Structure formats: C-alpha cells, structure tokens
Amino acid sequence: MSTRVVIDPLTRIEGHLRIELETEGGAIRKAWSETTQFRGIETIVQDRDPRDAWAFVQRICGVCTSVHAIASVVAVENAIGANPPRQARLIRDIVLASQEVQDHVIHFYHLHALDWVNVPSAATADPAKAVEFARSIGSTWKGNTIERMTAVRDTVQQILDSGQLSIFTGGYWDHPDYRLPAEANLMAVAHYLDALEFQRSMIRIGTVFGGKNPHPNFLVGGMACTIDLDRSESINQVQLDQIADWVAETRDFVASCYLPDALAIMGVYKDYFDIGAAQPNYLAVGLAGATFGGDPGASRTTSAHTEVKPGVLLDGDLSTVHPFDPTKIAEYIASAWYTYQDGDDAGLAPAQGETTPQYTGPKPPFEWLADADKYTWCKAPRYDGKPVQVGPVARILLAYAQGHQRTCELVDDAAGKLGITVDQLNSTAGRTLARAVEAMISAEALAEVTFPQLVDNLKKGDIDVFDNSRWDPSTWPDKGEGFSFVEVARGNLSHWVTVEDGKVARYQAVVPTTWLAGGRDADGQQGPYEESLAGAGSHPLHDAAQPLEPLRTIHSFDPCMSCAVHVLDVEGAELQVVTS
C-alpha cells in the first residue's frame, strides 16, 4: 500500500516549491512538482517602453537579476535592430561569467552541500586529520590549516552548546545516510564558511560594471557604465586592477577548493550516480554565458567558447548533436493554473505565449494538490514535444559530444577518478559534479579570455560601450519581434518580446526552472523534477519524516522558483499597484 508524502516548503531554494510523493516499499512510485506562487512579470511590462523592460524583468529573481536584464536587453535589441559595441558585449560576458561562478559556488556550499555534509559531526573531528584529508583529495586551498580547522571546530561546538543551530537549524542530522568521516565534515564546513567570504568578490565584479547589486544597471544598445582610465567617476585603472585580483581569486577558489570538494564528496556518495536520472534529452545553446539575439542558427554569439555550438541531445544518444531550432519550443498548461484561448491542451510558442492565470485548486490550507489535473503555477515547456533537461549537465554533455577539449579533459579526469561513465552524469550526483566542472571552465575563461580581451581593447583606446543609433523610437519598425537565448547558471534562459508602436505588446520569459520544474503535459509526460524522482520507480525514500533522499535529488537541479513563479495572495487581494 502506498504512502503519501508532502515536502512543503522544499528548503534551501529560492522561492517556494512543494513536492508531493507516493512511496511504497522504501521507494518513490509517483511524484508531482508544484510551484505555489504565480509570476506575473510578463503582464507588468506590457505597454511599457521596451528600453525599460530590463529594469522590471530582472525582478523576476532575487539572485539572477543580471542575467534576466541581459536577456531582456538582447531580446529588445533583436526586435529593434540595435547593435551594441564590442566592449559592451564583453562587459556583459564578464558579468555573466562572474554571476555564474558565484551561483554555482552558492549552490554547492550553501544550498546543497548540507544534504551530504553532517555539520554536528564536525565538532568531533581532529583538525590535523581534517587538513590531511583536504590534502589527500588534492585541495590546495589556503584555508586548509590546523589553526583554521581548529577555529571552525570550536565554532561548531559553541553553536551546539548554545542549543540553537542558527543557520544549520532544520537539518536531518540524525539521518543514518550521512557518510562522510568527521574530518571530511569539518573540512567541508570550513569551506562552507570560506565560500561566504569568497562570493563577495564575485558580486563586486558585477557591481563595478552595473553600479550596484542586486539589480545592477544595463542599457539597450550597450552598457550604462562609462570607461575612462584616468577619471575617478568612471571605470578606471584602479577598478580594473581590483577586478583582475577578484578574477584571479575566483579561479584559485574553484581550482583549489570547490572542484576537489565536489569530487571527494560525490565519490563517497557514488551510488547517487545511479539515482535521480531525468529524461535523457538535453538542450543548450553553448557553454555558460553563450548569448544570442534571435535564432542561434543565424545570429551572433559573444561566448568565450564559440566552438561549442547550440544543439540538442535526444533519447540518451550522446553521439549525435541535433541542430537547435527555436520554433520547436512550446509551453503547455495541462497541469498549470492558466488558460489558453485555443484550449488548455494546446502548446504555444513563446512568441505567441499567453499569461492568463486561472486558479482552480483547493482553497488553502490544503493537504493534497495532485488529485486534480492542474496542480502548479509552472508551465511545462517542451522541445519538439519532449521534456528536456537544461543547465550545467546539458551544457557539459553538449560540449563533450562536440569534443570541446577542456570539457573532455575535466570530465574524463573526473570519470576516471570516480569510476563512472559519462552518461551517468544524468543523475543526482552527476548534476552536482557537472556544475563544478563548468565553474572551472568558466573561471578559466574569465581569467584567460574574456577579461584580458576587454583590457587589451582598452589599451588600444577602445572605450566605446554604447551605440545610440537605435535609441530613438522613430528609428524602430512599427512592429518588431525579438528574442534572446542566454546560458545562465541554472540553464537555458530565453526572453521573447513584441514591440508595436514603440511599446511592449507581448512579453514572455522561458526560464531554466520552468523547463525543469514544470508538471505533466497534455500527453501525461512528467517534467524533469518529477521524472528524476519517480521515473525509475526505485528512487529511495526510507523515512518519510526525514525525506533527505528526494531533497538531494531536487537540490541537484538548483531550483529557483522565483524565476518560474511570482507572488500569490491566498485571499485574491491586490498586493501592489505599479504605475509608470
């Protein structure tokens, strides 16, 4: 007899995600992914000046503000025919790269690592042995000292003695499946705290170019910042020197700390390379940071890795890269609380997308949502009718399939150390490892390609970051449609805009978490979250009161529900009126 299990809220994510499960015999048989907030940003920007859209749509998320802003300005530029200068594109690439590495580090240490790392156990560790463990896994991080490990161990003990676990409250610390030795737990907790310090460097890079964080400034046609190496009120030599230091720090942290930690921890939980597989279909337009205005088959990219082309891998075949066709994307609402003019079983291309909420679920508080066909606010995107995975695992597999040298080196090295095959990256542990591999590639590209290119151009006198030839609306067509594809930390992000008579007539955003968290479509196909939990019928869940195993799997996707949904008042009250 099956047992119903509800995880709500699913913690250590951005926004609210609810998972409903049916389990039997210690395994998950059925799963439903439910986002319980509504996102209405697309309707807010209608009838507004398209040059302002980025300022509104970057509020889609509280973390990924920059990436939504860049996706928006690129889509608008595609619609009105704007062409930003080379330096502006490089600055956007630097912002994207720094944000992506910061996001991956936050995910691994602060949103996901505690699924594997037992914090209270660290208080029992020998600091000297913790240093030995760090060295044994190849970690050369400067924080691997006996003094540092001792201080962290004592801090953990003080927290335990206080009786209040502070930021570590709510963990399933008595769960028997925490497997790391105490010394490994101490090392990981020390690196968890170091990562909090490190991520400030990443934020500073975006802040210099965007003026502030969160919600930095961008500009249709270029960048809002100015560059003059000799003036204090512009980006100058002093700030460039600071950025150079932060870029070097980024590469050092990822190489000496993050990647070795990910390899070591996933090696202890090696069976999770056989747990949590979702549909073996993958979509990406390149490695992280790849940016296209319009059809990637015909438009330019500013990625540091132009050799990795847009593509799709289908049905687990990693040897055949299919051409990417944006016209094959459609969003379905068979399980979502929306309505379409053509019927709720239809699929709409994003350029013709509709955002018409129609809540038909039970009145809160409720115990179970999945008894009804509609159970989520998240639409279900499909590519050529298929559920696909996006994100680091899709990008790494795509790059590997195309023979990208650095990707192949890192993946083959990891696979050799762990004793796994490449196709096992489609798993809970594989998604976590792919993110660390990608962070290494991005940190190297930032240090060796993108930032040096910007500096070299500046040395040649190129300080142009804005093209105003399309700023005046009188230069725009009466009607223009544009879209963008940007590979961001969590996956493939696209914004779609229609501009008519100088205003936004239609706007849609298809975000990474929508691709992954969406529910069943009209054909009953599960979304990737659901498939990863229930697809094989063997995903473990041994204790419904401590659902650590499904948390590990869903966290491996790095959920960001704020991107997929927005605010809902349970009484239906108007929360805020926004006026221009």
- 148, 89 contact by CB (below 8 A): no
DSSP state of 519: -
- 242, 208 contact by CB (below 8 A): yes
Query: Which CATH code, of 2.40.50.140, 3.40.50.10860, 3.90.1150.10, 1.10.645.10, is assigned to 2-333+376-564?
Result: 1.10.645.10
pLDDT at 579: 45
Measure the CA–CA gap between 53 and 497, rounded to whole angstroms. 10
pLDDT at 35: 92
What the block records as the tokens of 487 is 């590979």
DSSP state of 327: G
3-state helix, strand, coil in the chain (%, to 5): 45, 15, 40
- Can you tell me whether residue 449 is helix, strand or coil? helix
pLDDT at 94: 96
**Binding-site residues for Mg(2+):** 42, 566
**Binding-site residues:** 42, 61, 64, 560, 563, 566
Measure the CA–CA gap between 369 and 21, rounded to whole angstroms. 11
Residues in the chain where the model's pLDDT stays below 70: 13-15, 562-580
In the block, residue with structure tokens 């927005």 = 566
pLDDT at 462: 96
Measure the CA–CA gap between 64 and 513, rounded to whole angstroms. 12
Q: What is the pTM of this model?
A: 0.94
Q: List the one residue out of 237, 236, 232, 139 whose CA is nearest residue 184.
A: 139
Q: List the one residue out of 328, 338, 271 whose CA is nearest residue 296.
A: 328
pLDDT at 205: 92
Q: What percent of the chain has pLDDT over 90?
A: 85
Determine how many CB atoms are found less than 10 A away from the CB of residue 2: 12
Q: List the one residue out of 264, 234, 304 whose CA is nearest residue 113.
A: 264
Measure the CA–CA gap between 280 and 129, rounded to whole angstroms. 41
**Binding-site residues for Ni(2+):** 61, 64, 560
What the block records as the tokens of 61 is 């998320």
Measure the CA–CA gap between 152 and 148, rounded to whole angstroms. 6
DSSP string, 499-545: EETTEEEEEEEE-HHHHHH----TT-PPPHHHHHHHSSS-EE---TT
- 345, 334 contact by CB (below 8 A): yes
pLDDT at 59: 84
Measure the CA–CA gap between 183 and 414, rounded to whole angstroms. 23
Measure the CA–CA gap between 201 and 188, rounded to whole angstroms. 20
- 76, 51 contact by CB (below 8 A): yes
User: pLDDT tens, 176-189?
Assistant: 999 999 999 999 99
Q: Which residues contact 151 (CB under 8 A, 6 or more apart)?
A: none
End-to-end CA distance of the chain: 56
Q: List the one residue out of 470, 514, 524, 479 whose CA is nearest residue 499.
A: 479
In the block, residue with structure tokens 């762990």 = 418
What the block records as the tokens of 199 is 């991520």
Q: Which residues contact 438 (CB under 8 A, 6 or more apart)?
A: 100, 104, 287, 288, 392, 395, 396
Measure the CA–CA gap between 196 and 11, rounded to whole angstroms. 19
**Binding-site residues for Fe cation:** 64, 563
- Can you tell me whether residue 482 is helix, strand or coil? strand
DSSP H helical segments within 119-181, as ranges? Answer: 127-136, 146-162
Q: Return the domain boundaries, the chain.
A: 2-333+376-564
